[in-house]
Structure 1
Amino acid sequence: MNSPATREPLPINGALDGLEVDGLLKDMFGAAIATAQPALRVPDFLPQPPRGRTIVVGAGKASAAMAKAVEDHWAGPLEGLVVTRYGYAVECERIEIVEAAHPVPDEQGLEAAERLLRLVSGLSADDLVICVISGGGSSLLPLPAEGLTLRDKQEINQALLASGATIAEMNCVRRHLSAIKGGQLAAACFPARVVNLIISDVPADAASDIASGPTVPDTTTCADALAVLRRYEICASPAAIALLEKGLTETLKPGDPRLPNIETHLIATPQLALEAAATKSREAGIEVHILGDAIEGEARDVGAVMAGIAKQVSRRGQPFRAPCILLSGGETTVTIRGDGRGGRNVEFLLSLGVALNGEPGVFALAGDTDGVDGQEEIAGALLRPDTLERARERGIRESERLENNDAHGFFQALGDSVITGPTLTNVNDFRAIFIAAQHGDLSRSR
């Protein structure tokens, strides 16, 4: 990960003397990403080769790396097609890798989705389809339901991203306006055996919400999708509304006879990533507490709540004694009201900073484990006790930036963005708050 200018070790007393807090937080973020790498996670879940063909299909930001891991550990004949985000391709010899747009879909993704369906058509019960699925697959497989266009999907997707809807709500809409999601890709594979290898990027690890569930059954309905559009006042095309109102785009439900031969493995999850980060903290001698792997809500609201918890730890030693680190994951949301670039991790972090208002001894890092926060090629950012002071010295007003949804601009101006590049995995958001043992003068970070 790229980092700001080199900083001196922080003057923390006792057992923490000489500890570079920035470095520890980045090491923890790196450990979360490393433990979810496909090369590490895929091999243990590969099935036995079939009597017939083996085809690998899939989509997501980690899907190309997952395909490479399958290929590296598969001795028999192998073919396939996987679509990933631009810049996330990994070269394979037997599996074709296609790049497409995320988070707003494009023609490349549309064409790839059409080809995926053709590739798995006409299979037999002797054949095996290995589906490699990760977050981002919803946008990368934008095949619209009959009667809709790619433009319809793009407009709805953009509106959902700015609405503040949860990932479960967004994907409910996406799969009910799709010709490939909501179990339809798996149905196209019938009667072949389907083995799903899935990296989770959603709260509660619901397989139907990861990439909108192209290879698993779904319990939500067209009526649910329509309710989401109305709840967030999203202006969808008349064609989309009509399809949902008539129930013409229903997904495949549990017990569907076209889905009898499906085996699903969650090979990496947000909880796994948080536990890896916690281990790194304990190795450094710092106690760590995982507050949850499925925290949702408006990013700025979550930031304010976490600031309250951090101050209680710092000032009262409750509910935990400092020094310690508070870890959390999940997927918050950002309702875009200003003309900033959004980004749920940096908005969380800026809200946290505003609420802490320079609280001595409190540092934080928040980032997306796929390396992209919102639509930016930036994973997240770092917050220090002197962050607001340094911003004000430059004439940057934190509250104005927060109201304008411009947290990316705020942290970039300070040189505090965290940039990883493509991580080739995606296990949702990572948030770590370091709380020192005492108030002291811990704000010096240069």
Structure 2
Amino acid sequence: MDPAKTSADISAYGLTSAQAANLLRRLFDAAVASALPAHCVPPALPAPPKGRTIVIGAGKAAAAMARAAEQHWTGPLEGTVLTRYGHGVACDRIEVREAGHPVPDMAGVTATADMLRHLDDLTSNDLVLCLLSGGASSLLVAPPPGVALEDLQALSRSMLNSGATIAQMNCVRKHVSTVAGGRLIRHVGPARLVTLAISDVPNDDPAVIASGPTLPDPTSRQDAIAVLQQTGIQPSPAIRAWLESEESETPKPESCGKVDFRLIANPQMALEAAADAAAVAGYSTLILGSALEGEAREVAVVHAGIARQVRRYGQPVTAPCILLSGGETSVTVRGGGRGGRNCEFLLSLTHALAGEPGIHALAADTDGIDGTEDNAGATMAPDTLSCAEAAGISCSHALAASDSYGFFRSAGTLVVTGPTLTNVNDFRAILIERAVLDKETSA
């Protein structure tokens, strides 16, 4: 190691497990902080209109976005936003409603209807400010005619367990809704519509974020049907009948006119913030990608291979360093265990590395909730596997049962933050302490 790069975080041959976990947690915190609404909403606000300003929106960050908007707004405003239970923030002029996520519930149905009432009788002098972030697809609940909430709930559960990508899930959601997939535009009438969005989707596709309620939809109902066929999901008869009807088709670009959509935070920004924090600690970084998708356990195997190559051969970067990646993996549930996609990734990484020395990792969701559990994610150290086995806990059995939460809870390395009030998707950081000496690799 170059002595000039030595910092308080780096010892002669690396870090203890506790030191590594603390460093990785600081990188995660830096990533989250870069996407907080208080930082990214104010610079993107439009000028006040001549008439009324109506604030609507949904997502895990929606309440915090609304708070930031009203604190920096010079004129009157009103409206309603929806967020997940436990993600609410007190606002003075904007009503905040909480509802179910990732499975929609009746609170979401009622709150969505109430939100839409703010859009009655708008004029060309009025402004509708729509605040969107990850989670809105489940919170904005407006079932089409003939489709019951129970139908949507069953569909959501099936998609969440199917291994479908977020783009596939949102394609279906857009066609089984009366607000998603551009349909919210029709409620605005002659008013100006401006959307501020925090991206939680790979490649920041505006039409996928929050299922694109304020943008024309490039997908078709045939695409939605194809997704259900590809994933083996059997929707209710009511949903199938709706999708087979031309009424389920979403608005297309030629019918929507000009839209004002402003992306204010995304996964790449978060990874760059983490890289900056790593540099302060004396570590170089390699960002593998901000839009990685695929089965969480398979993505982890690839990451493990890259980490080994770095440590053993100094390729494509030289250790000590930190590999960073983001995106949204998926999980095909194979057993009766508990855990989200970040812990699933980390469990598979633990299994693939098989105790490789000098490698530590953290995987967590930037919204603070991994799947449906109470943790954001977890950390892993070189001795995590051996310690678990000594305690009679099998990593391979946990993988087979989809019980990543149980594994890391037993290991005592869960990362618990509570709701962060933002969402720029998954965050993964792998710390590689130093390159292995030639005599070690040849042994």
Q: TM-score band, normalised by the shorter chain?
A: over 0.9
Whole-Å separation in 2 of the counterparts to 1:247 and 1:12: 65
Distance 1:439 1:86 in 2: 47
Alpha-carbon distance between aligned partners in 1 of 2:217 and 2:372, rounded to the nearest angstrom:
28
TM-score normalized with structure 2 length: 0.95
> Any conservation in 2 of the 1:113–1:141 contact (CA below 8 Å)?
yes
Say if 1:17 and 1:246 are closer, same or farther in 2 by CA, change over 3 A: closer
8 Å Cα contact 2:314/2:435 also seen in 1: no
1:23 equivalent in structure 2: 22
3-state DSSP of counterpart to 2:253: coil
Give the structure 1 partner of residue 45 of structure 2: 46
181-190 vs 419-428, greater mean Cα deviation = 181-190
Match of 1:213 in 2: 212
Q: 2:391 maps to which residue? A: 394
Q: For residues 75 and 243 of structure 1, what CA distance do their matches in structure 2 show? A: 44
Amino acid of the structure 2 residue aligned with 1:407 = S
**Cross-structure match for 2:259:** 262
Q: Distance in 1 between matches of 2:18 and 2:84?
A: 37
Aligned to 2:92: 93
Note if contact 2:14-2:434 (Cα within 8 Å) is conserved in structure 1.
Answer: no
Residue correspondence of structure 1 range 289-328 to structure 2 within 5 A? 289-328=286-325
Distance in 2, Cα, partners of 1:260 & 1:10: 53
- Aligned CA distance change for structure 1 residues 361 and 17 (closer, same or farther; 3 Å): closer
- TM-superposition CA deviations, 1:331-372 (whole Å, max 9, x none): 000001100123100000010110100000000000000011
Distance in 1 of aligned mates of 2:335 and 2:9: 36
- In structure 2, the partner of 1:133 is 132
1:80 aligns with 2:79: yes
Provide the rounded CA distance (Å) in 2 between the counterparts of 1:419 and 1:412.
Answer: 11
Q: Where does residue 358 of structure 1 map in the other structure?
A: 355
Q: Report the secondary structure of 1:292's partner residue.
A: strand
Distance 1:246 1:54 in 2: 36
Question: Does the CA contact (< 8 Å) of 2:9 and 2:23 recur in 1?
Answer: no
Q: Which amino acid aligns with 1:232?
A: T
Asked if 1:105 corresponds to 2:93, the answer is no
Q: Partners in 2 of 1:181 and 1:385 — Cα distance? A: 45
1:415 to 412, 415, 418: 412
- Equivalents in 2 of 1:321, 1:311: separation in Å? 11
The answer as to whether partners of 1:54 and 1:128 remain within 8 angstroms in 2 is: yes
1:4 aligns with none
CA–CA distance in structure 2, aligned partners of residues 17 and 332 of structure 1: 29
What is the CA–CA distance in structure 2 between the aligned matches of 1:243 and 1:265, rounded to whole Å? Answer: 32
The 5 Å alignment of 1:374-389 reads: 374-389=371-386
Distance change (3 Å), C-alpha of 1:11 and 1:119: closer
Report deviation, 1:142: 1.6
Aligned residue pairs total 430
Structure 2 residues without counterparts, runs of 5 or longer: 1-7, 438-443
Deviation digits for residues 124-175 of structure 1 (CA, Å, limit 9, x no counterpart) = 1110000000000011112111111111100000000000000000000011
TM-score normalized with structure 1 length: 0.94
CA gap of 1:394–1:229, structure 2 versus 1, over 3 A, is same
Q: Deviations over 1:252-299 (max 9, x none)?
A: 11121xx33531110000000000000000111100010100000000
Partners of 1:173 and 1:225 within 8 A in 2: yes
Q: Within 5 A, what are the aligned runs for 1:280-295? A: 280-295=277-292
Cα deviation, residue 87, structure 1: 0.5
Report what 1:345 is aligned to.
342
Q: Check conservation: 1:64, 1:97, Cα contact below 8 A.
A: yes
Query: How far apart are 1:439 and its partner, in Å?
Result: 4.4
Shift of 1:317: 0.9
Look up the match of 2:5: none
Residue 142 of structure 2: aligned partner: 143
Alignment of 1:264-279 (within 5 A): 264-279=261-276
Residue 164 of structure 2 is aligned to residue 165 of structure 1:
yes
Give the whole-Å Cα distance in 2 for the aligned partners of 1:291 and 1:397. 29
Please give the per-residue CA displacement for 1:403-441, whole angstroms capped at 9, x wherever unaligned. 11000100001110000101000000000000011449x
Asked if 1:203 corresponds to 2:210, the answer is no
CA contact (8 A) 1:25 1:432 kept: yes
Gaps of 5+ in 1: 1-8, 441-446
> 1-side partners of 2:413 and 2:277: how far apart?
22
Question: How far did 1:10 drift?
Answer: 8.8
Q: For 2:68 and 2:75, locate their aligned partners in 1 and report how far apart those are by CA, in whole Å.
A: 14
Distance change (3 Å), C-alpha of 1:187 and 1:16: same
Aligned to 1:346, the other structure's residue is in SS state: helix
TM-superposed deviation, 1:327: 0.3
